[in-house]
Amino acid sequence: MKHYEIVFLVHPDQSDQTQSVLNKFSSIVTESGGKVHRLENIGRRKLAYPIHDQFKASYALLNVECKKEAISEIQSSFKFNDSIIRSLVLSKNKAEADLSALSRQTEEDESEYSKENDKTRESKPKPLSAATKEQETPVKESTEEPITEEPIKVESESPTE
């Protein structure tokens, strides 16, 4: 049996079906006598370029060890499933069971995003409570007289002969 990596993108409107599709493909592999090494529902991510006028899609990844017949069945199901907008099946030399680079990147992006949100929440001014309002020092009113402007007279010089 050979090792394969299967990556597919699910239409964003049907992203709730991603886990069920992953389960279906893993059952195809196990029923054919294969083994699932890694199964990841990576989640919604922005696409590098629009596919079918969509800018986001739900990513899924499988690393399996199975027979060619199981891969053929999975590839044929890609054609008949309208929710899958792209798919890729790669042959691998060995099984990979650790977390994928795409999953790590997604987790890092989410953690950076949450850190940025925390910073913006901290930098927002907090509303003053009644106790702090009373403690404020009153503003002194100026005792100086306001400056008044006098109108300026402009004399026009006209050339006289």
Specify the CATH number for the domain of residue 34.
3.30.70.60
Please check whether residue 43 lies inside any domain of the structure.
yes
The type of residue at 130 is: A
pLDDT at site 89:
92
pLDDT at site 73:
92
- Smallest CA-to-CA distance from 2 within 26, 41, 42, 37 is with 37
Please check whether residue 15 lies inside any domain of the structure.
yes
Higher pLDDT, 141 or 88: 88
Please check whether residue 77 lies inside any domain of the structure.
yes
Mean pLDDT over residues 115-133, rounded? 60
Q: Token pair for residue 72?
A: 């053929």
Please check whether residue 139 lies inside any domain of the structure.
no
Cα separations in angstroms, 31 against 5, 35, 40, 91 = 18, 9, 19, 20
What is the rounded CA–CA span in Å between residue 18 and residue 150? Answer: 78
Percent of the residues in the chain that have a pLDDT greater than 70, as a whole number: 70
Mean pLDDT of the chain: 79
What is the rounded CA–CA span in Å between residue 56 and residue 133? Answer: 48
pLDDT at site 43:
86
Q: Token pair for residue 15?
A: 């992203």
Cα separations in angstroms, 60 against 102, 103, 129 = 10, 10, 49
Q: How confident is the model at residue 75 (pLDDT cuts 50, 70, 90)?
A: very high
Query: pLDDT (tens digit, 9 = 90+) per residue, 14-65?
Result: 888 888 999 999 999 999 999 999 898 888 889 899 998 889 999 999 999 9
Please check whether residue 124 lies inside any domain of the structure.
no
Q: How confident is the model at residue 9 (pLDDT cuts 50, 70, 90)?
A: very high
Mean pLDDT over residues 97-122, rounded? 71
Q: How many structural domains comprise the chain?
A: 1
Please check whether residue 103 lies inside any domain of the structure.
yes
pLDDT at site 136:
55
Domain of residue 41 covers: 2-116
Please check whether residue 136 lies inside any domain of the structure.
no
Q: How confident is the model at residue 143 (pLDDT cuts 50, 70, 90)?
A: low
Q: Token pair for residue 39?
A: 């199964």
Please check whether residue 125 lies inside any domain of the structure.
no
Which residues is 67 bridged to in the sheet? none
Q: What is the pTM of this model?
A: 0.64
Query: pLDDT (tens digit, 9 = 90+) per residue, 96-108?
Result: 777 777 777 777 7
pLDDT at site 158:
59
